[in-house]
Amino acid sequence: MNIEELRDYCLQKPGATEGFPFGEDTLVFKVGGKMFLLTGLESGNSFNAKCDPELAVDLRERYSEVQPGYHMNKKMWNTVYMDGSLTRKQLCEMIDHSYDLVIKGLPKKIQAEIDEIRNQ
């Protein structure tokens, strides 16, 4: 997966938006105003994704491409390198997991609005 494919995949998520709140090199994807993924445009070979703490540890132990989140809460965020042995399916599952975690933490009203977008 390259940076363009990553961007396309994230933006197809219902309610997903993109922006540059940390400067022009860091592309951030949000849903309901909350971040679910960010990536550096200069290197373009990794992203940070939110993760259940227990799953985060498991993924780090199993895959060298998954590391504690760089400049993030290392308990809840992983840095995932896209240029290793992880398949596109595995990368997408990590993105989906992050997106779903953020959705679950949103107020019910916003969750309902996103469900409406999904069902269109």
What pLDDT does 72 receive?
Answer: 76
Give 99-116 pLDDT, tens digit per residue. 999 999 999 999 999 988
Q: What angle do CA 13, 23, 39 make, to 5 degrees?
A: 40
pTM to 2 decimal places: 0.92
The CA-based diameter of the chain, rounded to the nearest angstrom, is: 39
CA-to-CA distance for 24 and 95, rounded, in angstroms?
A: 22
CA-to-CA distance for 63 and 44, rounded, in angstroms?
A: 19
Give yes or no for residue 74 having a pLDDT over 80: no
Give yes or no for residue 83 having a pLDDT over 90: no
Q: Edge-to-edge strands of the sheet including 66-68?
A: 16-19, 26-31, 34-40, 46-50, 77-81, 66-68
What pLDDT does 33 receive?
Answer: 95
Closest CA to 11 of 115, 70, 95: 95
